[in-house]
Amino acid sequence: MHAILEELNEEQRQPVLDTEGAVLVTAGAGSGKTRLLTHRIAYLVTEKQVAPYHILAITFTNKAAGEMRERLEYMLPEAAEGMLISTFHSMCVRILRRFIDRIGYNKNFSIYGEDEKERIVKNIIKAKEYEEDDLAKKAVWAISDAKNDGLSPDEYKKQNDFRDSIEEICVIYAGYEQELKRNNALDYDDLLLVTLRLLRSDADAREYCQNKFRYIHVDEFQDTNMIQYQLVRILAAKYGNIFAVGDEDQSIYGWRGADFRNIFNFTKDFPDCRVYKLQRNYRSTQNILAAANMLIKHNSSRLDKTLWTDNDEGNAIEFLRAGSETEEASAVVNSIVGLVRSGQYKHSDIAVLMRLNALSRSFEERMLQYGIPHKIFGGFKFFERKEIKDLLAYLKVLSNPADNEALCRIINFPKRGIGDGTVTQLRNYAAVSGLCLADIIVGIERNPDLPTAVIKKLTPFSRLLRALFEEKEQLCVTEFVIYLINALQLNLLYGNDTEEDRNRRMHIEELVASIKQFEESNEGCSLEDYLQMVSLYSDTEEMDGSDYVTLATVHSAKGLEYKVVYIVGMEEGIFPIIRMDASEDEEEERRLFYVAITRARERLFVTHAASRFLYGQRKAQFPSRFLKEAGLMPTYGGESARYGGQGQTYGTVGATNTRKYTQAPRPATPPLRQAAQSGPTKQTGDFSGFVAGAAVIHPKFGKGTILNVSDEHNSKFVQVQFEKVGKINLALEYAPLRLADKE
């Protein structure tokens, strides 16, 4: 047997050997689908002598594509470089950079994110004098919805004439499209849609791509939308060799256009398709899988499969019914402290998953108080920081001078006295002359049609842009960015000795390091290549392996796994979410809980609160219906039946599919119900110096001043006014806080 096949189980081996034509693999969570994909590609190259140039592998995140690429580079050191392993969007950018000039764009087009989209939409609303408060939000959503279905403004209007404000929305959509074209820009949805239009309309582009990508592999197929599915069909139309791997039980992106039914459509559109199932799970314990299997069987729209494993039965799943979100957060954080202090787990082994990002506040607050290192995902991204976005806007203008939105961001940064009135005059002149703003400004001194005051005000900026355009052609990307930072005098602009300015300087240094690393990893790359990478960046790629607890929405944790998982906020109206109003929505919510459960390898904790303060009011909460469906709802009795009573530890469904509501084996660390009572071991020491007015230092928040000291819940709390983050309450016995005068 070939060495590649020896590393696979029998379930995985069969689809690897089936190399020609259409193949669909429905792969359960933790069943080794990445191994399947990489080994199949390696088998094609080594055994079937397929040229790497003819292999395409598509997935949904840069992180997943990077991991697949790393594995193939290890397996095929010389061949891996020739194949394309990328996300859908990255693949489309490659195709468009090569052929987009055939359909009226410049190849150096900009890629607009949500900020640029929203800004253009708001400008159109202002120009049209529409007054509805939430019209911008509606329009932004509708534009993306239309593009996911491949609909023009007129087509979208016909299909949605029952919607409120549809007339205005479609006028905004049409104006938005015109503005994108003027700016030589595409938004994120356009990358897919314009590529599809290109391949349908241009025979040369279509023939080139079909001949190049003769063996196509698609990961996470359940997450494809209509446009992505049509792209795949066109690319595979000539040779028919398409290998799709997905799991309809993990389709959780219906809200952004993903259609899990593409898995079922695949078998119809490729009539000779062979279907294989991967049901052996390598990740989780039997108890965790039993709960996942019991839950997902309540969905009707699925291919029947049952996950199984040779792993141990494992610890029983632990459950806590807390009195409030504060008690819930305290129990979870105390439990985490116990797990880490036991020596069994590191912080990075642990994730706290939630349906809504709004639930994160109480958990973050407790972790800050107890000094637990953590990161929140689905939150603030590095490339979304103001100082970084300002620099990137300069780079976008220098890469694509037609990008008017980027230019408007930088025209008065750093401040140079250019106000909205000047920008309006420029925009009006651009509309009349047909020139982009950058061209007007670069040639401002030779332009007699503008008022003298405008010319005088813009001349220094014009000279700066001319110098930057000139240096861009002479320097490598890293050297040019350093030149740009110096030209803008950002070290002076952010030169104050405040925590905020120090952080901004640090972020700018991180950006330079990021560009340098990108250049080192991509020999001969251009500024446009780097900007493309940034445009396709996602926040989960910031998960860098450091030792911190992950706080994330379940959507952000898709594709990841942890030794220990806490699923919190399991309440009706939260999980499943309250806006859910159809059986199809309920099935997607159930799939989302299934994804959360199957992120856990060894330990799983589930919590809900009897009451919760959310969206400005406190309400009584009721346990999620999914808890009972997954066998995770213990029978309460006596004192513990009351809301606010102690949580219970209990076993769940075992490998033999029989209920075992038995007491779990005594763990090395306290169960959640004990953690809720006891809390972590307090620090000892002399706290007498921590009084109102004392200067203190926190390793994360920097310098601050104590505003007041109080005793709550048998603990001493201090309220600190930090220079960087404002007021924060900290438990003095737990927080890593020290007096500044003892430095």
**Omega of the bond prior to 414 within 30 degrees of 0, cis?**
yes
Rounded CA separation 280/283 (Å): 9
What sign does the dihedral 585-586-591-593 (CA atoms) show? positive
Catalytic residue list contains 34: yes
Catalytic residue list contains 33: yes
What sign does the dihedral 615-618-619-620 (CA atoms) show? positive
Three-state secondary structure readout of 450-465: CCHHHHHHHHHHHHHH
> Helix or strand or coil: residue 83?
coil
In angstroms, how far is the first alpha carbon of the chain from the final one? Answer: 66
Q: Residues 353, 599: contact at Cβ < 8 Å?
A: yes
Q: How far is CA 544 from the centre of its chain?
A: 14
Catalytic residue list contains 220: yes
| Separation in Å, CA 556 to CA 189, 538, 543, 666 | 20, 10, 11, 32
Q: Which of 7, 18, 19, 34 is catalytic?
A: 34
Catalytic residue list contains 579: no
Rounded CA separation 335/341 (Å): 10
Q: Residues 635, 656: contact at Cβ < 8 Å?
A: no
Q: Which of 12, 250, 309, 369 is catalytic?
A: 250
Rounded CA separation 502/703 (Å): 12
Rounded CA separation 41/52 (Å): 9
342 C-beta neighbours (distance < 10 Å), count: 12
> Helix or strand or coil: residue 32?
coil
Q: Residues 279, 304: contact at Cβ < 8 Å?
A: no
> In DSSP terms, which residues pair with 660 in a beta bridge?
none
Q: Which of 599, 601, 603, 612 is catalytic?
A: 599
Three-state secondary structure readout of 244-286: EEECHHHCCCHHHCCCCCHHHHHHHHCCCCEEEEECECCCCCH
Sequence-distant (6+) residues with CB within 8 A of 188 are: 89, 111, 112, 113, 535
Catalytic residue list contains 499: no
Q: Which of 168, 219, 247, 519 is catalytic?
A: 219
Amino acid residing at 464: L
519 C-beta neighbours (distance < 10 Å), count: 18
Q: Which of 33, 214, 283, 558 is catalytic?
A: 33
φ and ψ at residue 83, rounded to 5 degrees: -95, 160
Q: Which of 220, 318, 387, 587 is catalytic?
A: 220
Looking at residue 644, what DSSP letter applies? T
Rounded CA separation 401/688 (Å): 61
Catalytic residue list contains 459: no
**Residues taking part in catalysis:** 33-34, 219-220, 250, 599
